[in-house]
Structure 1
Amino acid sequence: MNDSSRMEELSEVVTELIEFSNWCYDNNEGNYSEVKAKQNKFIRGKRKTDRKSSIIIDNLHFGWNYNQNNAGKKLWAKGYVNTGYTNIAYDRSNENDKKLVFSVKKEIKKIIHLPSDKPITSEIKEIVETFWNYQDKKEMNPKETDVKGYLQALSDKLIKSKNLILRGAPGTGKTFLANEIAADVVSNGRTTQINELSEDEKSRIGFVQFHPSYDYTDFVEGLRPTTSDDGVVSFTLKDGSFKSFVEKAKKTKKVNGQDNFEEAWAKFFDAVTEASIEGEGYNKLKTLTGKPVRNLLAYERNEIQGVYPAKTTTYMNHDQIYNVYRGLPGTPKGGFDAYRKAIVKHLEEEFGLKNYTASTVDSTNNQNYVFIIDEINRGEISKIFGELFFSIDPGYRGHKEGVYTQYANLHENPEEKFYIPNNVYIIGTMNDIDRSVDTFDFAMRRRFTFLEIKAEDSAQNMLTQEKTKKLMMRLNEAIVAKEKGGLSTDYQIGAI
């Protein structure tokens, strides 16, 4: 593509982004309009990553986004088009100082302040020209390692395969890379740094490390000892690390509900706890008939909070009272629900509890989730995954292809099948020096894409000093040199 064509095309995209932003401020109080967006040629939605965008100019994919302003009440504070890490932004976070900004990996390279109310054609072309000049300079200097490009290639491989294993010698940065890939995927290309993720994005990354004693009950589900409110020990079915992570990824977004139980309960429990410590107990609660409930005490067992009148076994925990708040029986048999209803009424009168309104489902969860399994080959992988080896197959993702788990007969609904949704991605890491890929049975092996992280990859992408790179490469050459013992590449060292 010639220079004038790519200048014209990118200018057209940036112009549309700016005009759409201006329209939203001038005609829609700064809020997004789906109807207006559908009339656009390029910017036909709130956001789209460069990976999923159909805007391709000179072999570069361009995405777009609009950041929020005023704590999310208004959109369009800063709109931008990007290639994953290069941004052309229309920054109107300060309406008295609008500007066009070109940045690379969040480092500002050029700012054009806009004296007029809206950008003019020459200003748009100037920022677009800066972008293409940067691209040309980068391509002319092959010594500049494009680490972001390297990571994006790995992220793309994960997105395509669903299950990826990074294998190689110790110290080649496999776990480090896995975390960077995970950050890239959950943030939709915004960052590769874990510490730059929002709390919500961080919660969408799971991590475990396999070892010889790790088993199915740790990973999927199993029976765990628990102590009831009256001190009786029993076994309860609990989800393992992976299953609980997957269930979180399945959750749908709920809207239009009203539920402030946690806030009211926290205040109530604190008050009962304080009274339990300082005196004979909490004495402000009354039954539904108006009879005082004396000496109410607080307790906490198995991470579940509860209350009970002193010298009784009338234990009422958080979950049971929450059930009653939502119009359900506190327990399957409903015992002591009159007390629980009295507590709900007390929370309404004294601690600001609002009437419960059930939320409605807005949409399925389409956010990306990444589960990292470190040292995946150190565990008995077939025993750990069990029947889930079927579910992790990219061709069998989704609720239509579920499986019965080993403890399905203990579920509330024994006929319910477990499945892994399409928005869950798995990254494994392994040192070949410990146990090789050959230790995987074929059924498991074919469900993962294996990618070798070589020592030279580690040097090129993690070291900045040429002298250090050369020293590391010479050392690794000596490790595999036949005249010096001839160890395999599994014994080479990485940069970390």
Structure 2
Amino acid sequence: MTEVDDGPSGPQETPPFLLRLPGASEVDPARGVLLDEVGTNGSRKFRILAGSPARENEMPSFSKHFTATARERETLKKTGVLRPSARWPGWLELAQDVDCGSPSFAAGVLVGAPRNGWVEWRTEAGAPLSDFMEGIWTGPARAWLVRGSNVSGTDLVHCLWLPEERVSLAAPRLRQGIGQGVSKERLRTVVEEDWGPTATYNQKLELVEELHAFLSRMKPGDTVCTLSGGRFYVGEITGPVEQTVSDDGRSNLRRPVEWQSTGHAYDTLPEELQQRLSAQHDVVDLTTAQPHIKGLGRSDEELADEAEAIERDPSGTIPAIAARRELELPEPEQSLAAELLVHDVSWLRELRDLLWEERQLVLYGPPGTGKTYMALKFAEYLGGGPEQVKLVQFHPSYAYEDFFEGFRPREDPRSGEVAFRLTAGPLRELADLASREGNRHIPHFLIIDEINRANLAKVFGELYFLLEYRNKSVRLTYSGEDFALPPNLFVIGTMNTADRSIALVDAAMRRRFAFVELSPRYEPTSGLLRRWLDREELDSRPADLLDALNSRIDDRDFHIGPSYLMKKGAHRAGGLERTWRTKILPLLEEHHYGESLDIEKRYGLDALARSIEDGEPNGPSS
């Protein structure tokens, strides 16, 4: 047994720990013990016991990203300490005890691949090693970003963290004796007293969150990341926090870390990870992006091989591989073109390509051109069903609080009292749904009907920025959280060009959306009614009348779309005349309001029918 002094409770005995190697059902598990001795970087050492098995092969990229562990394996082989096993053909075996800098380093030596030793070294009863580390916050492994490239003008990443295998946090005014496991409530009092008037209220709030994360939430086995010189570095926390003295207090809180040997270019990182990295805090929880981090620099085969040692549901997926699953928008097929009565499936494919490239587009055109119907059906096809599609309609009084989030009166289900509570709007709800684990490869669509009828700058607020910079995040107005639009969230707006509020659409809006016109002058709208009449086996006369009508309307933004006449009621006895009188002519009366124009004489059914019979589709000019 090895005693571990790991907190105020004094020494604690720990049992031997076992490590089951991947693909080793016929091989005994490796055995090891946790040591009292602490390495140069503050990590507690771990001893692998003689007779422990090891894999002969190692992960192909192991020597590149985990140079120190790979070098130790090679040294042990050359010296005969790690040699072919007589008991287990095809495996290696330790000839003597080997001391390693941390449990994870020890596991990596045996497996030839990265391993979280705090989780995978277990007792006979299955308890992980981390359960025996008193004073250290327990729970599943998390991932963290700690910024160190500009701490009081110094790049600590290259001058301290990487060479000395540490990560640190500047807390120059923090009193001595504030150690591992301190509560957030205690930190609030300490920060208020120790920083006093030297920090603003918001700065103190931020300090409490960062200190609590570094002191109490981080634990051995967690992933830690940082950025420096355009590169992203990944490591593993290997021990408890240490409070020390440093020049100018730039690094007086420290944790030991085993850093991977190479960094990753920032521009090559997955978009979801870049979004989290753009949060403007010194300590950021990256756990939601953990599968992306784990997969950096490793092939699917390496990740699958690494996962073999973890007890898991065999029917499940490996998170790091699942995170790589490409988001796709299916290619429109002829069946969709037939359903939407589009003249050519290539038009739908171009629409799909625009949406893929821009993430946001607007279908615009005169009334009745089927913009909303097209948007809904197209989104349902691309998303795989209506569950991934949400529709909202803008109007002049629509606001940010309606669209994204704001305080709304809500009744407390327990007390029955009504109070203002932060309530999510349709965009926030859909974004939360799209970003759930397991949903990130599924396209989700927000349809904004009549997008030009609201004050767009007021409705979108800071979200305007995210429409253009999808790999960034912003601090939200009400909740104060960091928010980014999920990569699998697409926005389709519809815009009625006959609505004078189109003037509210400014250059910023036009820059963030691709615009696609649906006009009676062009396909797929120009021949839509004829195709529908043909499919329904109805007379083509209404299509002739609509063409004649639009030829008399000078302003193309007020042309009449075919959807008014694509209803069964318009083709029953008296239906055409009723639709013309109650739906179409009122639109044209509004268009010519204040003009001395006889609407019936110019646009009435009788006038249009006579012009068609006379072979003069343009008819009289007044």
Q: TM-score interval w.r.t. the shorter chain? A: 0.3 to 0.5
Q: TM-score, normalised by structure 2?
A: 0.34
Which protein shows a greater Rg? 2
Higher relative contact order (CA 8 A, sep 6+): 1
